[in-house]
Amino acid sequence: METRFLETFVAVAERGSVAAAARAQGLTATSVAQRLQALEDNLAVRLVTRVGREIKLTPVGDRLLDQARRILAEVHALKADASARLGDALVGTLRIGAISTVLTGLLPDVIGRWATEHPALDLQISPGSSALLHEGLMEGRYDVVIAAAPPFALPKTVRAHGLRVEPLVCLFPERLTVAAQGGEGAIREILTTERFIRYDALSWGGRLCDAYLRDKRIRTRELCSLDALEAIALLVERGVGATLVPDWAPPWPDVPSCRKIVVPDQAYARQILLTHPATTRYGHIIEALMQALAPVGRQARDSRPTHPQPIVPGSSRAQARGRNPSRDEARGTTPCPISSRT
């Protein structure tokens, strides 16, 4: 029996369809179906049934799913142990979950370098929302997750390392005239007069935006709610309305007619964390990943013009964080794209 058959079985079980599993594994739907059939033939049991386009586990498949995960985890750990004994060489498989702006902004350079420097290392990268990725980390489906900080305390079984701090920015069409110094007064005027494109409040980053609007008592005229930052920026570029979003890592979409004002209160900034289990056999690979990502985050911080601003006492977001936010804050308006300023 080949472990890749088990990997496909787990992928189908977790995603509920052959098509979704094929996308996750970079295979064709035909290849996924063939692997499932081969595994069922090897075990002489039916593992799944098909209901329309959905895949349902049989009672036997449901019982074997956890065992398949354990076997894959042991194989995964075996490769990691072998890698650790090779000293500086990075060998094995690292399962990474990352939000979309990390996939486009932080990881590409690292992936490109490591493909040459560490050809024996297999990076299995999966996209997702911060909430779903955190859930996957807790369930053992990822070795590393790079996503927004959760709105709750992480358990002691998880270690977290900060990569970026992304202040909120008000994006608005170029046609609007605002005071040159920007600031919260300009933000309030823009968000109360323009149609508001909301960053989905169900996302962890969207909760920060909602907390800011609520604490500052800014009433908006909502046009729509989206969980896609790039799409939101494009709508602003087309003059549809204004928005409040985290200043995510470049590259941004081509939005030359979109402008921004940075929210001066860093208590509402989105933190991007790298999280992993406290007990892991992949510590040397994770440490190398953090070292590789550090210059990317540092370059983004150093490139942003900053001006000290006081943190508003009693901010509900600052209290929820339970921390002292950075005092490096930006003011003023700048054109987008903001690849040199994020």
Per-residue burial over 262-297, b if 16 or more Cβ lie within 10 Å, else e, is bbbbbbbbbbbbbbbbeeebbebbbebbeebbeebb
Q: Are 1-69 and 166-269+305-335 the same fold in CATH?
A: no
Q: Are strands 328-329 and 242-246 parallel, antiparallel or unpaired?
A: unpaired
* 265-293 pLDDT tens trace: 999 999 999 999 998 888 888 999 999 99
Domain ranges within the chain, ordered by starting residue: 1-69, 166-269+305-335
Q: Say yes or no to pLDDT of 144 above 50.
A: yes
Q: Does the structure show a pLDDT above 90 at 205?
A: yes
Q: What is the per-residue pLDDT for 298?
A: 56
- Over its C-alpha atoms, the chain yields an Rg (Å, rounded) of 23
CB atoms inside a 10 Å sphere around CB 154: 16
In percent, how much of the chain has pLDDT > 90?
A: 45
CA 161 to chain centre: 14
Percent of the chain with pLDDT over 70: 81
Per-residue pLDDT, averaged over 163-183, amounts to: 84
More confident residue, 120 or 160: 160
Contacts of 88 (CB under 8 A, 6+ apart): none
- Is the predicted pLDDT of residue 186 greater than 80, yes or no? yes
Q: Are 170 and 332 in contact (CB under 8 A)?
A: no
As its CATH architecture, domain 166-269+305-335 has 3-Layer(aba) Sandwich (3.40)
- The pLDDT mean for the chain works out to 82
pLDDT at 333 > cutoff 60: no
- What's the pLDDT tens digit per position in 242-252? 999 999 988 88
Please, where are the H alpha helices in the chain? 3-15, 18-25, 29-43, 59-85, 100-105, 107-117, 130-138, 184-193, 204-215, 229-237, 283-303, 316-321
- Per-residue pLDDT at 158 exceeds 80: yes
For the cut 80, the answer to whether the pLDDT of residue 46 exceeds it is yes
Give the separation between CA 291 and CA 289, rounded to whole angstroms.
5
Assigned CATH topology for domain 1-69 = Arc Repressor Mutant, subunit A (1.10.10)
So what's the pLDDT on residue 251? 86
The larger pLDDT score, comparing residue 237 to residue 76, is at 237
Reported as a pLDDT band with limits 50, 70 and 90, residue 3 is confident
Report helix, strand or coil for 152.
Answer: coil
Q: 90 with 285: CB under 8 angstroms?
A: yes
